[in-house]
């Protein structure tokens, strides 16, 4: 029997998991991307692109799969919630689809960081810390900074610009990472950044800016992660996720992700 695996991706971990498992005997791997950015980095193997149409659409799609790994970004709340709900109850054919969350750990909060729980709070805190703000929270959340940071000098970096009317003094940089420490140092010096606002994404790919901010004495406002959906087992890295899939494939039963 071939185990049909759906990877919910859009992250380096999603691509690495596909690369690790694609082509293995007894596995058929399909990666799913949201289609939210132009020219996405594609995983190896079969790829589908675009939303499923909410929980109902995802459940219809799951008829063609045996197991799901949710490797979406730690802040991709909608997809993670939908996956948890779609897999929580049996499909019309009677099968309950096992779901594993693959989420890299967040960065430990450092002394001096301004840790906040949401973007509205981040905007207010950032506004009080300095006039020159560098925002790296992505396009979806930028609108939540407009009001508090109107009148500030703001540089917001993201892959794709949002459709927003920007206040005077705001600038969008559309560019795709990862960025080296030299890149981040040059950018923060060029814009004389006083405050950095970011999400606690974790991992190494976006960490250079945190190290450079500390080096340059830039205040860091860090938005904490949304809570994980209850009842979904989670692993912190690609190796553990691949091992879970292989064990599930070999035993034809749901493996324990902690063993
Ligand atoms: P989101 O709020 O969790 O998802 C919004 C909707 O986009 C979902 O309800 C789903 O639409 C669709 N979607 C999201 N991920 C999908 C996937 N892998 N395959 C198919 N459909 C998907 O997501 P987001 O925060 O906008 O992020 C979009 C994508 O970018 C995610 O795949 C995520 O991994 C990646 N990403 C996000 C961030 C971030 O900070 N949020 C950073 C880096 C990469 P339907 O309801 O129609 O199924």
Q: Is the CB of 158 under 6 A from ligand 1?
A: no
Specify the pLDDT at position 212: 98
CA distances from residue 254 to 55, 139, 257 in whole angstroms, order as listed: 22, 37, 9
Q: Is the CB of 65 under 6 A from ligand 1?
A: no
72 CA distance to ligand 1 middle (Å): 7
pLDDT tens-digit profile of 196-247? 999 999 999 899 999 999 999 999 999 999 999 999 999 999 999 999 999 9
Q: Is the CB of 136 under 6 A from ligand 1?
A: no
> What are the two backbone dihedrals, phi and then psi, of residue 107, each rounded to the nearest 5 degrees?
-75, 140
pLDDT tens-digit profile of 49-99? 999 999 999 999 999 999 999 999 999 999 999 999 999 999 999 999 999
| Spatial CB neighbours of 166, under 8 Å, sequence gap ≥ 6 | 172
Mean pLDDT of the chain: 95
33 CA distance to ligand 1 middle (Å): 7
Specify the pLDDT at position 249: 87
Sheet containing 27-33: give its strands across. Answer: 46-49, 27-33, 3-8, 67-70, 99-102, 234-235
| Spatial CB neighbours of 128, under 8 Å, sequence gap ≥ 6 | none
252 pLDDT above the threshold of 80: no
76 CA distance to ligand 1 middle (Å): 5
Q: Is the CB of 124 under 6 A from ligand 1?
A: no
80 CA distance to ligand 1 middle (Å): 8
Contact between 150 and 170 under an 8 Å Cβ cutoff? The reply is no
Tell me how far apart the alpha carbons of residues 75 and 137 are, in angstroms, rounded to a whole number: 10
Q: Is the CB of 7 under 6 A from ligand 1?
A: no
């Amino acid at each position: 029997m071939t185990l049909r695996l759906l990877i919910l991706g859009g992250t380096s971990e999603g691509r690495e998991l596909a690369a690790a498992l694609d082509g293995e005997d007894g596995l058929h791997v399909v990666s799913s991307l949201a289609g939210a950015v132009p020219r996405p980095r594609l995983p190896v193997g079969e790829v589908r692109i675009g939303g499923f149409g909410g929980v109902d659409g995802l459940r219809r799609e799951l008829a063609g799969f045996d197991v799901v790994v949710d490797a979406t970004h730690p802040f991709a709340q909608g997809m993670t919630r939908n996956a948890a709900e779609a897999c929580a109850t049996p499909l019309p054919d009677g099968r309950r689809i096992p779901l594993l969350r693959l989420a890299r750990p967040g960065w430990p909060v450092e002394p001096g960081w301004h840790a906040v729980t949401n973007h509205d709070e981040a905007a207010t805190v950032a506004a009080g810390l300095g006039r020159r703000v560098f925002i790296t929270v992505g396009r979806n959340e930028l609108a939540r900074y407009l009001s508090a940071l109107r009148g500030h000098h703001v540089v917001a970096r993201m892959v794709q610009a949002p459709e927003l009317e920007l206040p005077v003094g705001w600038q969008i940089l559309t560019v795709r990472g990862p960025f080296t420490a030299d890149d981040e140092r040059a950018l923060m010096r060029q814009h004389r950044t006083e405050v950095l606002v970011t999400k606690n994404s974790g991992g190494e790919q976006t960490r250079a800016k945190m190290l450079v901010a500390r080096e340059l004495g830039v205040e860091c406002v860090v938005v904490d992660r949304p809570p994980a959906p209850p009842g979904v087992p989670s692993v912190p890295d690609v190796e553990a996720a691949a091992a879970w899939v292989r064990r599930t494939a070999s035993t034809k039963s749901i493996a324990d992700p902690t063993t």
